[in-house]
Amino acid sequence: MSRRRVLYLVSISLFIGLASMLLRHLVSSPNSKLKLFSNMSTQNAAKERGVIVVGSGLAGLTAASTLISHGIRVQMLERAAKPGGNSMKASSGINGAPTKYQPGPPFSDTFFHADTVKSAGAVYQTSFKKERESLIGTLTNRSAAAIEWLTEEKGVNLSVVAQLGGHSFPRTHRGAGKLPPGASLVTTLLKSLKESPLFELDTECTVTKVLKPSTAVTGVEYLCGEKKEPKRAEGPVIFATGGFAGDAHGMLAKYRPDLAGFPSTNDPRPGSQDLLTAIGAQLLDMEQVQVHPTSFIDPANPSSPVKFLAAELLRGEGGVLLFEGKRFVNEMETRKVVTEAITNLPISKLENQDEKVKQWEILLILDEGVYKNASSHIDFYLWKKLMRKATIKDLGPTALASLKDYASGAAGHSTDLFKRDSFGHWELHDVTEDSVVYVGTVTPAVHFTMGGALISAKGEVIGEDGKGIEGIWAAGEVSGGVHGENRLGGSSLLECVVFGRVVGDEAARYLQAAKE
């Protein structure tokens, strides 16, 4: 036998031996190598089907827009009859710093991160500090890019900037038109998505289960309309289902029973975090629920458990809060501080009020200067009969003195009694009994849940082992850890855009890796 023939036979024997060893190793270690091949198969299937986005609020729409920019198909599932979620209702604006739209020297606002950490409160220092720092850093450091993406790439007008409570600088952006900022963002993104052949939207479809047969999420089960037979959608999943502030008898009752009886700015619907804990997700800050200090009491239905939000920009632009004709708080404090100041006051006894509903009778007062800079909002509230035009003498005997003191501080003639130093566009300085003002009656209402599924800075849903669960991401109010004890006004829409873009990019990378 020739030497070449011998070498050939030896090579064949070695190859067969190595192949046999590898096969035995795979069979004996199904959780390692076979899992790799299984996941590759799952990912290749996902590549054909695209990504499932659960929820059609701003976070979901942003994620979908990002995915489609990568050429990836999106199936969006929305449980409501119409898309947009609570994002449609957002009325104060979206934070961003530093941006070219902010007042003062260009790009001079460097305090957003510090303001957010301060607003997060004690939990920032006591638990999950590393994770919180990463999330807050992502939120604030990418805020300017979020504004640029919306204005330059999507064509949204965000040229008007206001300073809200808890902020040390004006950085909350909104448009100059009549649409509130949330509706403007949602309608713009939705219109663009509907023009793409890669986008599919299914409404009145509720996800009932996240599919995770082994270590990776492979899709969801869902029900549509009145049908009882569940459907399946296969592929990686982005969860953008929102919070549980409207789940009064479910998750809210479980985590914050002390808020029983409070009205809410959210429609009644169950929270969805349980779908994530069923696949091993960690929850964080579930007891951290934000009660917004100002929601309108509708004179026509004062006991309604669902309230219409009195946008924070009303206070930011100069609005004043009075209880029995007297100021009682710096209106530019954080939502948590203002809410606590109100709830320390006696509960109101409005005519026709259901005693089971906890609410307070606080007057929100605006002048013509505030009106000029927030007319689109105020005209809407007037049309809804949630606000009215009045004179100061209509507000009771003590209101005149309180508003004179406030006007003196706004004009710079004295130091404000409550140390307020930003008065927006309040311009009524010569206050008389006949001075015209705009008035609404407001009360605190459950508004936002800071808690939810723990995520990484990449939007990965973190499992009980501290690692990201493969094939699933979360963005928006369904996640936890971004805001701590208190969310700054304007940071909800920002969270949706920043983390919506992040998870869109991450899901795209996941599919690209499967392709390669």
Strand duo 51-54 + 237-239: pairing: parallel
Nearest-angstrom CA–CA distance, 294 and 159: 25
Query: Is 142 labeled as catalytic in the residue annotation?
Result: no
Nearest by Cα to 451 from 123, 62, 93: 123
Tokens of 409: 């501080």
The pLDDT score that the predictor gives to residue 350 is 61
Tokens of 241: 């289902």
Nearest-angstrom CA–CA distance, 148 and 99: 8
Q: Are 325 and 399 in contact (CB under 8 A)?
A: yes
pTM: 0.87
Q: Are 158 and 148 in contact (CB under 8 A)?
A: no
Nearest by Cα to 205 from 64, 88, 52: 52
Q: Tell me the domains of the chain and their CATH numbers.
A: 47-288+450-515 (3.50.50.60), 290-446 (3.90.700.10)
pLDDT in tens, the chain (516 residues): 554 544 444 344 444 444 444 434 433 443 433 333 344 444 444 446 699 999 999 999 999 999 999 999 999 999 999 999 999 999 999 999 999 999 989 899 999 999 999 999 999 998 999 999 999 999 999 999 999 999 999 999 999 999 999 999 999 999 998 899 999 999 999 999 999 999 999 999 999 999 999 999 999 999 999 888 999 999 999 999 999 999 999 999 999 999 999 999 999 999 999 999 999 999 999 999 999 999 999 999 998 999 999 999 999 999 999 999 999 999 999 999 999 999 999 987 665 556 678 999 999 999 999 999 999 999 999 999 999 999 999 999 999 999 999 999 999 999 999 999 999 999 999 999 999 999 999 999 999 999 999 999 999 999 999 999 999 999 999 999 999 999 999 999 999 999 999 999 999 999 988 877
Q: Do you know the residue count of the chain?
A: 516
Strand duo 74-77 + 51-54: pairing: parallel
Q: How many CB atoms lie within 10 A of CB 374?
A: 27
Query: Is 292 labeled as catalytic in the residue annotation?
Result: yes
DSSP 361: -
Please give the angle made by the CA atoms of 91, 95 and 98, to the nearest 5 degrees.
150
The pLDDT score that the predictor gives to residue 4 is 52
Nearest-angstrom CA–CA distance, 325 and 23: 82
Nearest-angstrom CA–CA distance, 251 and 249: 7
Catalytic residue among 174, 292, 420, 483: 292
Beta bridge partners of 473: 238, 460
The one-letter amino acid code at 146 reads: A
Catalytic residue among 174, 256, 315, 501: 315
**Any idea which residue has 């900022």 for tokens?**
181
Tokens of 493: 């829409």
Backbone phi, psi, residue 85, to 5°: 55, -155
Tokens of 265: 């700015």
Beta bridge partners of 470: 216
Strand duo 160-162 + 479-480: pairing: unpaired
Nearest by Cα to 403 from 443, 434, 442, 377: 434
DSSP 413: S
Strand duo 468-474 + 237-239: pairing: parallel
